[in-house]
Amino acid sequence: MRTGTTLRAAALGAATLMTITACGSGGEGADDSGVSPAEADLTVVTGVYPLEWLAREIGGERVAVVQLTEPGTEPHDLELTGRQVAEVSEADIALHVSGLQPAVDEAVGQEASGSALDVADVVELHPVGEGGHEHSEEEAHAEEGHDHGEYDPHFWLDVDLMAQTAQALGDRMAEAHPEGADDYAQGVADVTAELEAIGQEYEEGLSSCEHDEVVVGHTAFTYLTEDYGLEQIGVSGVDPDTEPSPSQIAEITDIVREHDISTVFTEPLMPAATAETIASETGARVDVLDPLEGVTEDSPGDDYPSIMRGNLDALTAALACS
């Protein structure tokens, strides 16, 4: 782990480099909307897609959003370059959810504590392990040290918590740039309306289903399943890097058979091998349920609203909802 001195030195060096080089793309100083930090009224830096989406929707053309994670890569394992540390240091708002990306937490804590907006301070995060099928004590012990800590950071699958975060972000933008307060307030209103519409669609779509068991690769869907009375059955824990043991796979395979579960879900940023193994043993099919940690060509949409709606379509088909 780098010390604070090392991080600060890297940031200073990278800041010098940034004054003589053009901005790159995808986590190296770019804003895909075309708004550069030099042109914007505010700059927001973040490391995970749902927070990027919020910042872009609320900030509009006034705000440059710097995404630290390259598109199509796993956000949990992000390591920051010197230039990215400088971007964190120089941002007007460092938007993150503590526990999700240790490198971002470290950089924010050491370089941007004054500009930090931690979602964990805005919404009530769920303790890890809530709201789903539990593995045996032996298997749970094997997963220790491979999670995000005490709390599950995947709050963005709960549209109400996303709306709370949107309000907090809009307020922070207005505080940092009062001249744009009306625009930021309108952005919050538009985002909140979109989130409410998605929530209503989920309420209606999942109101009458033959099944309630959702078998997933890792337990990133607690916020979603708890909201709608579903049971999340994870092959592995909250960390996608945790390899399931043969006994875990056998346990989930037995559950799929016992409950006549039709679908085993995999994710765009995870290998499908385990889901395919369980499916081949049980006759279930494999489909994608996206935890929205990033957008890839395998995602069931191209932005937060369309992916959430794609997830709803996948769930209603898997659970035989009418």
Mean pLDDT of 23-49: 72
- Topology annotation, domain 206-318: Rossmann fold (3.40.50)
Helices (H) and strands (E) in the chain, counts: 11, 10
Query: Taking each helix axis from N to C terminus, what angle separates 181-205 and 304-318, rounded to the nearest 10 degrees?
Result: 10
Q: Which CATH number, 3.30.530.80, 3.20.140.10, 3.40.50.1980, 3.40.50.920, labels domain 4-131+153-198?
A: 3.40.50.1980
Q: How much is the pTM?
A: 0.84
pLDDT digits (tens, 9 = 90+) for 270-315: 888 889 999 999 999 999 999 999 898 889 999 999 999 999 999 9
Give the pLDDT confidence score for residue 239 in this predicted structure: 59
Percentage of the chain lying above the pLDDT 90 cut: 70
Q: What average pLDDT is seen over the chain?
A: 85
What pLDDT, in 10s, does the model give residues 192-238? 999 999 999 999 999 999 999 999 988 899 999 999 999 999 987 65
Contacts of 301 (CB under 8 A, 6+ apart): 290, 295, 307, 308, 309, 310
Whole-angstrom Cα distance, residue 227 to residue 212? Answer: 12
Q: For helices 273-282 and 246-258, what crossing angle results, to 10°?
A: 40
pLDDT value, residue 24? 33
- Return the pLDDT at 125: 96
Res. 17: pLDDT tops 70: no
Q: What pLDDT, in 10s, does the model give residues 62-117?
A: 999 999 998 878 888 899 999 999 999 999 999 999 999 999 999 999 999 999 99
Share of the chain above pLDDT 70, in %: 81
The closest of 284, 276, 321, 318 to 300, measured between CA atoms, is: 318
- Same fold flag, 4-131+153-198 and 206-318: yes
The structural domains of the chain, with segments of one domain joined by +, span 4-131+153-198, 206-318
